[in-house]
Amino acid sequence: MAEYDTIRAAGVSGARAAQIDEGLRAHMNKVYATMSVGTLLTFLVAWAVGSNANLLSVFRDPVTLQPNILGWIVMFAPLGMIFLFSGLLNRISAAGAQLFFYGFASVMGLSMAWIFVAFTGMSIAQVFLVTSIAFAGLSLWGYTTKKDISGWGSFLIMGVIGLVVASLINIWLQSPAIYFAVSILGVLIFAGLTAYDTQKIKNTYIQHAAHADQEWLGKAAIMGALELYLDFINMFMFLLQLLGNRE
């Protein structure tokens, strides 16, 4: 694996290197802060809807938890919003991108509301804590490692596509073995993506910091927050399927 080039190793030194280092810290702080707000918003929406039988029944059968037509729409809406966000990113402001991200996080909360009926509150809290610790460790490693892990990207994306296909097939097959395998692989794939995306966010900032394009950097921070948010949420959901205690 190639060594990761730091600011100073790349030949930048003195005051300019210190300025870029300071900017990188501020950039990463914004990424993590935006991601954290989005995650909190998701769980607040999920809890508000999931703890209210009348609200949940708008999207799912309150007994079987099977989604109705609106439930299916809400379930797949986040995927459509990701593609929409990618297409709009160059056309909207950084503030608009942040607002879109929070809207996305809210819709994701609607799609996850059922977990507050299917699983005990204690197990949700425990899995959230486990996910938070794992995410923090993986992201820290991705940020500090000197190894270039950019080569992981294509394999991890292929893994995500495989997970989506297997999950869609298992909606009809309802196979416990496929369900278990998808959950295990999902945890591993999104654990890898957490480290990979963190290093990519860091590298992207370093490569573009010299241009000092604050509008672009603002959008890059929102995109980075979205990537890490998706890593966290997906890792949480797969761990919940493995470790959660059902009601």
Is 139 a domain residue? yes
- Here the contacts of 136-143 (C-beta below 8 Å, separation 24 or greater) are 138/191, 138/194, 138/195, 138/198, 139/194, 139/195, 139/198, 139/228, 141/195, 142/194, 142/195, 142/196, 142/197, 142/198, 142/199, 142/202, 143/28, 143/198, 143/199, 143/202
**Structural domain containing residue 179:** 14-243
With tokens 């999931």, the residue in question is 50
> Does some domain include residue 85?
yes
3 falls within a domain: no
pLDDT at 16: 58
Is 143 inside a domain boundary? yes
pLDDT per residue as tens digits for the range 186-224 = 999 999 999 999 999 999 888 877 666 677 788 999 999
Task: From 104, 123, 96, 109, select the one nearest 42 (Cα to Cα).
Answer: 109
Q: Is residue 29 scored above 70 in pLDDT?
A: yes
pLDDT at 4 over 50: no
Backbone angles phi, psi at 3, to 5 degrees: -70, 140
- Tokens, residue 199: 């290093």
Q: Residue 226 domain-assigned?
A: yes
Classify residue 9: in a domain, yes or no: no
| DSSP codes, 49-93 | HHT-HHHHTTTB-TTT--B-HHHHHHHHHHHHHHHHHHHHTTTS-
Residue 1 counted as domain residue = no
Say what the pTM is.
Answer: 0.89
The total number of structural domains that make up the chain = 1
State the Cα torsion 72-122-163-39 to the nearest 10°: 70
- The confidence score (pLDDT) of residue 15 equals 57
* CA distance linking residue 67 with residue 73, whole number of Å: 9
Find the largest Cα–Cα distance for the chain.
64
Percent of all residues in the chain with a pLDDT value above 90, rounded to a whole number:
69
In a domain, 103, yes or no: yes
Of 3-7, 99-103, 105-109, 168-172, the poorest mean pLDDT is in 3-7
SS3 (DSSP) at 13: coil
Q: How many CB atoms lie within 10 A of CB 43?
A: 20
